[in-house]
Structure formats: structure tokens, C-alpha cells
Amino acid sequence: MSSKDPIVQMRRVCKRFGKTKALDEVDLQIYRGRIIGLLGANGAGKSTLLRHIIGLYLPDEGHCTTFGCEAGKLGPMQLARIGYVHQEGELLDWMMVKQLVRYVSTYYPNWNNELEERYIDDFEISTKARVGSLSPGQRQRLAILLAIGFEPELLILDEPASTLDPIARAQFLDLLLKIIQDENRAIIISSHILSDVEKVIDHAVIMKEGRILVDCSFDQLQERFSRVRISSLSGELPAELPFKNVVKCQRSNGEAILTVKDYSQEQIEQAAQSLDCQIEIQPLSLEEIYKIVVS
């Protein structure tokens, strides 16, 4: 498997839970050197998709391969290259933090003690505390430590920051950026805090009802959607504006704010030339793009 091959490859993966179709013909490829944002509403199938990647779920149809191996047959050699933080936060509650860290580190030959110590200091984890009595935020920090301590090539983060406070979230995002400096790695992050996610991701996957609606680089996604403020220089704007893919339009005295899709900056400027107006083009935030895509 060369470094240019995708780490994860999903082909027409379907998964049903009773009558619910959790994944519906999902095709996805994940390459090294990327931070992928996996976005979607509750029940969109994000966690199901992630669990297929590590082989905890088996597809009803289709294929999922991770590190070139069928995900359901992943062995120790492949799993030791994957770090996983999950939203349930399942840990060994009866251990003390330091004992749990020692226990997990015993599994990995490449456990980074220096990283562990730095992380414990930075994230203020109390090593003498009992895991079962940690607050949800502390628990989440510990889960992240256990997932990154062995410097995995593929880091899967399923709602990792939902219980972290703003400062810890910022530290966490910095940490992700440091991890991804090694181009041999990939990070998949599923989160509802889009304002955070957009600071770090370079690829976006948006899901709805088990289907992937968008799978492209974040730059491409941002280029697809723009907000155009058109201000008339002489009285009212015409009733019909020369834009076709208008997602949203707000008008007021001689001014219109349009959200348009699939227009380049040149195309917008050309379209606006026919009007006697001033235009201002703004990129949309991930949250705004997400709302447009899923609605």
C-alpha cells in the first residue's frame, strides 16, 4: 500500500438497523495528510460510518477497507495505527487515571511518554483521580489522550469536543493541527460545533439520512457558496437580478444580499456589471454552508 493510496475506502456501503437505513450506498475515500470534517444532524449516520471504518460494524452491502484490509478483518497491526475517541466515552471507570494510561500504553510499542506528560500538563488532567468520578469534560480529555498517545496514523474523533470548555477546545484544535503536521496521518472529526471544526478541517463530508451529500475539499465547498451584497448606486435595484442559483435573497432599499451557489468571483462580477451597482463578495461560514446543504 503506497502512501498515495487512500487509508480508508468505502464502496457502496449500506447498513440497516431494523427499518432504519443508517448508511445508504456510501462511497468515501480518505487520504493521508487531511483533516476531514464529518458533519450531519443527529442520526445522519456519522457514528455508524466511523464504526464501519474500524470494523466495529459490518456493512450489509458494499465494502469498507482500512489500511488496505477489509475493515471487519482488521488485526492488531492495523488497529494499532488507529486512534478512536467515541461519543459514549467508554473507559475503565474503576481505574485511576494514571493506571488507565499505564494500562493502555502497555499495548503500544510507540507510546509517546513525552507527549503524554505534556498533554497531561496542558489539559490539566488529574492523574490520581478515579476515572469513574471524572467530570464529562475531564473524561473526554482523557479519552483524547488515550487515542493520541501512540501517535496513530488515522485518528477518528467522534464528537470529541462536545463536553470541553472553550479553552480546552481551543487547545484541542491546536493539538490537531500539530498532529496533522506529520503528512503521513489523517484525522476524521465528527462534530456539531461547526465554528470549531472549520478552523482545522481541509476536507468536508456532509451527511444526511445515511447519504453523503457533500464530499469535497473545504476550499471547494467555500467557493461553491458566496454571499453577494449588491448596493445600487442609483435608486432601486431591478426586480429581477441576473443570478440563477440564488439560495437566499434579502432585499431592502436599494440593497440586496444574495446567497448564491456555483458562481465564481468573475461570474458574479460579470453578472453585476449589467447593474449600476457596487458589489461585495463574502465567503460563507461552514455553519451557513451546512444549513444550505442539508435544507
Q: Which of residues 55, 149, 160, 210 is near other proteins by CB under 8 A?
A: 55
To the nearest whole angstrom, how small is the minimum distance from the Cβ of residue 57 to other proteins? 5
* 95 versus 257: smaller Cβ distance to other proteins: 95
Whole-angstrom distance, CA of residue 262 vs CA of residue 249: 15
Cα(176)–Cα(168) distance, integer angstroms:
12
Contact set for other proteins, span 109-128 (CB under 8 A): 109
Joined together, the cell numbers standing for residue 235 give 435608486
Residue 108 touches other proteins, criterion: CB under 8 A:
yes
- Judged by CB, which is closer to other proteins: 15, or 224? 15
Phi first, then psi: give them for residue 115, nearest 5 degrees.
Answer: -60, -40
Q: Which of 76, 166, 181, 295 binds other proteins (CB under 8 A)?
A: 76
Residue of the chain from 6, 12, 14, 56 that contacts other proteins (CB under 8 A): 56
72 interacts with other proteins by CB under 8 A: yes
Q: Rounded to 5 degrees, what angle do the CA atoms 222, 179, 187 make? A: 55
Choice from 103, 236, 273, 282 touching other proteins (CB under 8 A): 103
Contact set for other proteins, span 213-272 (CB under 8 A) = none
Specify the amino acid at residue 42: N
Per-residue string for binding with other proteins, 82-101, x by CB under 8 A?
xxx-x-x-xxxxxx---x--
Cβ closest to other proteins, residue 160 vs residue 237: 160
Q: Is 102 in the site for other proteins (CB under 8 A)?
A: yes
Closer to other proteins by CB, 136 or 242: give it.
Answer: 136
Applying CB under 8 A, among 14, 80, 213, 216 the residue interacting with other proteins is 80
Site string for other proteins, 154-173 (x = CB under 8 A): --------------------
CB of 245 to other proteins, least distance (A): 41
The CA-based dihedral angle spanning residues 84, 89, 94, 98, taken in that order and rounded to the nearest 10 degrees: 50
Contacts with other proteins by CB under 8 A lie at: 51, 54-58, 72-80, 82-84, 86, 88, 90-95, 99, 102-104, 106-109, 130, 132-133, 147
